[in-house]
Amino acid sequence: MARQTLFLGRLFDIRVGVHVSWLAVYAFMTIALARALGMLPQPEAYAFGAVCALALFASVVAHELAHALVAKHFGVRTNAITLFLFGGVATLEEEPASPKADALVALAGPAMSAALALVAFGLLFALDRMLPDGALRDALGLLGTYVVLANGVLAAFNVVPAYPMDGGRVLRALLWRRSHDRDAATNAASRVGIVFALLFVAAGVLVVAATHDLVYGWYVLLGAFLLRQGVSQERTSRTLRGVAPDAEAVAAA
């Protein structure tokens, strides 16, 4: 992935980059939002769509940065934050050392997204009272509404217990605390993630068939991605359980 990632800069000494696949998401979001703003002249609609897509970019970066900063609190360094086709990922140097740390690192992202949604909602309320009717108020209102919805969806969607999503990592932490076996917990969480991935694929296929709208094919792609990740992680976990402790430590590092 590194060769196909555009380096943007550093935040808190963490490399931030965008995989080329994210450019497709940016273009798609800009066009979709512009088409939804039919009341505006086309150039303004596309410009506003581009700004909203940038707001989504910033929201995902903030989500991943929250993971990274909480991981740093527990002594785990983050090498990079990368946005790609299906969202973002914070690349940690190692796994958190305890179930508590694992759960808190996972929950930090959805908590940040929920906080951003609440802040944006508060600003919307303030703007409604402070600004007079007009184009500026309407534009800021639309942008604020989009930020509320985007971060609300990020928060809610990421707590779904589909490993390796945030909710799945929280599930893994709970199972790890109960069994005192991280690999067994990862294996079990991966199996749950596979079930959710299959549900995403099935739901996407059914909605596309019912609406004839290919936009909902996104859920099929997302489900397929999660299915691949879940199967790969489940196989890796089973492999690691069969090797000697020293070899496992090297593999995990």
82 touches 19 (CB < 8 A): yes
Q: Where are the alpha helices (DSSP H) in 159-181?
A: 166-179
Nearest CA to 167 out of 195, 187, 193 is that of 193
Q: Are strands 5-11 and 78-84 parallel, antiparallel or unpaired?
A: unpaired
Nearest CA to 75 out of 111, 45, 100, 47 is that of 100
Q: Where are the domains of the chain?
A: 1-159, 160-253
Six token digits for residue 247: 């070899």
The single-letter DSSP state of residue 39 is T
The single-letter DSSP state of residue 7 is E
Six token digits for residue 104: 């808190």
Which residues have C-beta within 8 Å of that of residue 243, sequence separation ≥ 6?
Answer: 251
61 touches 16 (CB < 8 A): yes
Q: Which of 64, 93, 94, 248 is catalytic?
A: 64
List the pLDDT tens digit at each of the 253 positions of the chain.
Answer: 556 778 888 888 898 988 887 888 788 778 877 877 766 777 888 888 888 888 888 999 999 999 999 999 999 999 899 887 767 888 888 889 999 999 999 999 999 999 999 999 998 888 777 767 766 677 777 788 888 988 998 899 899 998 888 999 999 999 999 999 998 898 899 889 889 889 988 988 998 888 877 667 777 887 888 887 777 766 655 554 443 333 222 222 2
Q: Catalytic annotation on 64?
A: yes
